A and B are shown apart, each in its own frame.
Chain A
Amino acid sequence: MRRFLSLGLLCLLLLGITVTAQAQTDSTADTTDDPAALELLEALDASSYPAKSAAIVAILQSDDKRARDWLQSLLDGRLQRADDGRFVVVLDNSGREWPVADALTGDPLGEMSRRDLDRIGINNALRNQLRSAIAVVDLYSPDVERRRTSATRLLGEVDDELAEPLSELIAEEEDAQVQRRLTQALAIYQVENGQLEGVETLRGSLHPRVRVALSRAANGDDPIIADAANEALVSIEQNLKINRGLETLYFGLSLGSVLVLAAIGLAITFGVMGVINMAHGELMMLGAYTTWAMQQLLPGQPGLALLLSIPAGFMVAALAGIAIERGVIQFLKGRPLETLLATFGISLILQQLVRTGISPLNRTVITPEWMSGSLVVNDALSLTLNRMYVLGFALVVFASLMLIMRRTRLGLEVRAVTQNRAMARSMGIRATRVDIMTFALGSGVAGLAGVALSQLTNVGPNLGQNYIIDSFMVVVFGGVGNLWGTLVAGLSLGVINQVLEPWAGAVLAKIIVLVFIILFIQKRPRGLFPQKGRAAEG
């Protein structure tokens, strides 16, 4: 940035000459009555990136009110040049014909073919320069949000020219956050220029750019600064370690919540009813496809579609579950091997149905605005929002299932039938109806898992296969027939996996977890929370 600014003045002179020469030869450009602005833009249409960089500086130093808009549209890749030499801003760059507006006057010019437009290309270096340039402009903006982004952006980007007005700006600033950031930005500049007071200001800050600046100072030539920087870094590192621990815990809980969601439906059908349902994963897939279908039905409203797919996904999967129970499983009662094979067949049929009926390719499920990005806790710890919602969703689903099993008549009947079928029937409970309802409930929950997974992973015919093994693993590890066991097992397996992953790698971490479960089951065949009493013996 500072290189560009100081270079700018020199280049400006040179450019001025070439641009006027160009303007004279370019006959079409005469149509405009704003030659100064046109000159500025013409300079942007250079072939080399250094020349473009100089042109950006020139625009920044001109007093033109449109400067920020030009820089922003250049940053967005929307500033283009038509074949007739006019500069236009592309309003929408999808498809083959693009609506455009004149860059100088802002008048809409209708649609233009992408063949007739040449984009003024930028690379990452220019993009960084543009962002800093816009940040400098935005420092004076009345909008607090803009000032905040701009102040954060300027960390590590302050140069000699900016340093002077910065102290004044800090003094005048009303917003505490902006003030703090600008002070840090100035402190980084001071550290870079060998002033010890900068190190003091930066002590305790967790921002990566602060760490980069201090690391550089620690390896620098000045021993006093290097010692101070090293000392500051040690305390920062300690603080970071705590944050990293918290982050790993969050990652683990988030992975665990996915496992819990995938397994909890199975905990009901397999754990409570004792049915080995290999098509469980495909019921999840149906839930995910329901989300996709909902978004197709409600174009432009991904958030609403997602919320509506929660009940819809439940219904679709529950109905499919009823069909499977009535069509196949009821005839195979007490024959686990046959049930396993038959449901495995069903899973293949469902996959192939989706492949031929919809597409073998993955479907795109849009993540709504409010679910993307992350929640910034501090400079070193931010929690991704989509996973936080899934974590919350998993807990809600678990809580409602517990409520259903403990507090409703259905739950009571389910527990009665699973504990002693004959006795329950003689008490007047219709066992067949309870079977259907239980299986529908378990399947519906699988559908809910699918809705949640559509936000985290690819929605395709193979979605279910990727989770079926993990689901059985969680249920068996937690103790068959125990919902609490599933919750604890899922979350702890997630955390174990994420703790192992950084040093073992993703592949090895999975293997270690599997081996661990095998050994654990050898020791405690009934899992973490074994069922007690006579029911367990049956």
Chain B
Amino acid sequence: MTTLQRKTHSRSARLTGRFTTALIAAAVMGASAQVLAQDNDPIKVGILHSLSGTMAISETVLKDTVEMLIEQQNEAGGLLGRQLEAVVVDPASNWPLFAERARELLAQHEVDVVFGNWTSVSRKAVLPVFEELNGLLFYPVQYEGEESSENVFYTGAAPNQQAIPAVEYLINEVGIERFALVGTDYVYPRTTNRILEAFLKDEHGIADEDIMVNYTPFGHSDWQNIVSEIRRFGEEGKPTAVISTINGDANVPFYTELSNQGVDAGDIPVIAFSVGEQELTGIDTGPLVGHLAAWNYFMSVDTDENYDFIDAWIDYTGDEDAVTNDPMEAHYIGFNMWAEAVRKAGTTDVDAVKDAIIGVTVPNLTGGYAAMMPNHHITKPVLIGEIQDNGQFDVVWQTPSTVAGDAWSDYLPGSRDLIADWRAPMRCGNFNVVNGSCGGSTAAEEAEAALAE
């Protein structure tokens, strides 16, 4: 347009033309400067872990872990030439508050990825927020399965990577015939115990009277009656074990009561799915030696990667007695997978990263590799450890190879026909292979149901 003006009109017009060119040039330069500035803006990493309340015992270290990983990544030159920046919020062990804080992270701080949550009820609460605002959530804790969201990556164990192998170990290696299922009263223990009951009855023919189920509220502190009931349950002639899905700080009085009442691991072993090294700090584990936990990582694992991670953690916290645990490893794997996917996609754009991350394989801390599966779960080895007197676990059994996480349990009716595959063209979290249809997202209803409990 400027050339046209120059051809036909007077000097004043030419002057205006030049002015316009300059303006356009300035505008272009300004825009590119803005693009440049955006490129140099830090990548924002949201951290959504309770720093207070009953879950703080478990979740605070996970916040520190992500901060350490960010620091390490920045020291190594950042990601895509940009620095990473942590955005920390505190949902205070308050499940509805998790959803508000998640919204704050995604809408207000516009974070590129979120690492967070521990309890399943808090995850259910944030699901609709992440799906609505198209965020990325890396969830690092073992959980009950029966879920696969487009926006969530489950780096902790699904039931087939923890609960089921643990029960098989008890039956096949220890010879247990009676089970007491003891848990905190919320969605994870209830669903896990439902799967386990079905599994024990259908696959191993365990009778009804050989299964005892007990639920207690969060933060329960008076365990006398329950522990003595367990003791009696175990004194009826058949080898008995306790499967504990007790969460948070209620574990401290539970284990204290176990040792006070002299429940010995040789007689009635307790296998826990939510008790790691972190929860055991502060308990005298002398009387608890031999009680079990099933995880995919233990601090005592004898590999160089693990010792390097522990050393880095001790240096980062400045605490010579700092411990590492399974969900920390899950964050380690999840963070590296996300970084790898961002590198692969060349951007932090959520949709691009979601597609790029499937199939990404990174080393874990137990000497193997973890791969992201199309159902947003990862491959993990399953380890059974026995508590030692120094608060550590000693691995007594492990699966020969890694196990891929199964979003939908094979032991529940209704769930065994479902699969999840987030690759094109299926892109579905609950595809029914029998009638060939996709159920679609039920995040909103699930969140409502979980919070109503």
Q: Which of A229-279 contact B (CB under 8 A)?
A: 244, 247-248, 251, 254-255, 258
Asked if A128 contacts B51 (CB within 8 A), the reply is no
Minimum CB distance partner of A497 in chain B: B222
Asked if A124 contacts B257 (CB within 8 A), the reply is no
Asked if B260 contacts A462 (CB within 8 A), the reply is no
Minimum CB distance partner of B231 in chain A: A208
Asked if A215 contacts B236 (CB within 8 A), the reply is yes
Q: Which of B97-105, B131-139, B383-391 contacts A (4 or more CB under 8 A)?
A: B383-391
| B256 within 8 Å of A (CB atoms) | yes
Q: Which residues of B contact A123 (CB under 8 A)?
A: 290, 386, 396-397
Q: Which residues of B contact A216 (CB under 8 A)?
A: 237
Given A124-B269, A212-B235, A460-B249, A362:B256 Cβ within 8 A = no
Q: Which of B54, B56, B225, B265 contacts A501 (CB 8 A)?
A: B225
| A20 within 8 Å of B (CB atoms) | no
Q: Which of B263-311 contact A (CB under 8 A)?
A: 265-266, 269, 281-282, 284, 287, 289-290, 292, 302, 307
CB distance from A512 to the nearest CB of B (A): 14
Asked if A360 contacts B51 (CB within 8 A), the reply is yes
Q: Which of B10-55 contact A (CB under 8 A)?
A: 51-54
Asked if A506 contacts B260 (CB within 8 A), the reply is no
Given A124-B266, A361-B57, A466-B219, A458:B260 Cβ within 8 A = no
Interface string of B202-242 (1 = CB under 8 A from A): 00000000000011110111101110110110011100000
| A125 within 8 Å of B (CB atoms) | yes
Q: Which residues of A contact B395 (CB under 8 A)?
A: 121
| A444 within 8 Å of B (CB atoms) | no
| A131 within 8 Å of B (CB atoms) | yes
Q: Which of B220, B236, B287, B290 contacts A124 (CB 8 A)?
A: B290
| A434 within 8 Å of B (CB atoms) | no
A373 to B287, CA, bound (A): 9
Q: Which residues of A contact B292 (CB under 8 A)?
A: 124
| A486 within 8 Å of B (CB atoms) | no
Minimum CB distance partner of B213 in chain A: A505
Asked if B290 contacts A457 (CB within 8 A), the reply is no
Minimum CB distance partner of B53 in chain A: A462
A505 to B52, CA, bound (A): 28
Asked if A384 contacts B224 (CB within 8 A), the reply is yes
CB distance from A462 to the nearest CB of B (A): 7
Asked if A124 contacts B261 (CB within 8 A), the reply is no
Q: Which of B225, B314, B321 contacts A498 (CB 8 A)?
A: B225
Q: Which of A187-219 contact B (CB under 8 A)?
A: 208, 211-212, 215-216, 219
Q: Which of A94, A385, A462, A505 contacts B54 (CB 8 A)?
A: A462
Q: Which of B48-74 contact A (CB under 8 A)?
A: 51-54, 56-57, 60
**How many chain A residues have a CB neighbour from B under 8 Å?**
58
A374 to B220, CA, bound (A): 21
Minimum CB distance partner of B307 in chain A: A115
Q: Which of B224, B256, B265 contacts A367 (CB 8 A)?
A: B256
| A177 within 8 Å of B (CB atoms) | no
Minimum CB distance partner of A244 in chain B: B232
Asked if B266 contacts A127 (CB within 8 A), the reply is yes
A123 to B395, CA, bound (A): 9
A374 to B258, CA, bound (A): 11
Asked if A76 contacts B389 (CB within 8 A), the reply is yes
Q: Which residues of B contact A457 (CB under 8 A)?
A: 221, 253
Asked if B224 contacts A373 (CB within 8 A), the reply is no
Interface core residue of A118, A121, A457, A507 (most chain B CB under 10 Å) = A457
Given A458-B249, A458-B252, A458-B253, A247:B228 Cβ within 8 A = yes
| B433 within 8 Å of A (CB atoms) | no
A367 to B259, CA, bound (A): 12
Given A123-B386, A215-B236, A506-B215, A374:B266 Cβ within 8 A = no
CB distance from A441 to the nearest CB of B (A): 27
Q: Which residues of B contact A128 (CB under 8 A)?
A: 266
A396 to B404, CA, bound (A): 59
Asked if B228 contacts A251 (CB within 8 A), the reply is yes
CB distance from A238 to the nearest CB of B (A): 15
| B75 within 8 Å of A (CB atoms) | no
Asked if A387 contacts B224 (CB within 8 A), the reply is yes
Asked if B214 contacts A505 (CB within 8 A), the reply is yes
Q: Which residues of A contact B215 (CB under 8 A)?
A: 505-507
Q: Which residues of A contact B314 (CB under 8 A)?
A: 96
Asked if B219 contacts A462 (CB within 8 A), the reply is yes
Q: Which residues of B contact A519 (CB under 8 A)?
A: none
| B367 within 8 Å of A (CB atoms) | no
| A327 within 8 Å of B (CB atoms) | no
Minimum CB distance partner of A372 in chain B: B260
Q: Which of A125, A373, A466 contacts B221 (CB 8 A)?
A: A466
A binding-site residues for B, Cβ under 8 Å: 76-77, 93-96, 115, 118-119, 121, 123-125, 127-128, 131, 208, 211-212, 215-216, 219, 244, 247-248, 251, 254-255, 258, 355, 360-362, 364, 366-367, 372-374, 382, 384-387, 456-458, 460-462, 466, 498, 501-502, 505-507, 510
B binding-site residues for A, Cβ under 8 Å: 51-54, 56-57, 60, 174, 185, 214-217, 219-222, 224-226, 228-229, 231-232, 235-237, 249, 252-253, 256-257, 259-262, 265-266, 269, 281-282, 284, 287, 289-290, 292, 302, 307, 314, 320-321, 386, 388-390, 394-397
15 A-B pairs with C-beta separation under 8 A? A77-B394, A96-B320, A124-B269, A127-B265, A216-B237, A251-B225, A255-B222, A258-B222, A361-B56, A372-B287, A382-B262, A386-B256, A502-B229, A505-B215, A506-B222
Known: A216-B237, A362-B252. 13 other contacts (CB 8 A): A123-B290, A124-B292, A212-B235, A212-B236, A244-B232, A361-B60, A374-B262, A384-B224, A458-B219, A460-B249, A501-B225, A505-B214, A507-B217
Please list the 4 inter-chain residue pairs (A to B) with the smallest Cβ-Cβ separation, ordered nearest first.
A364-B282, A215-B237, A457-B221, A360-B52
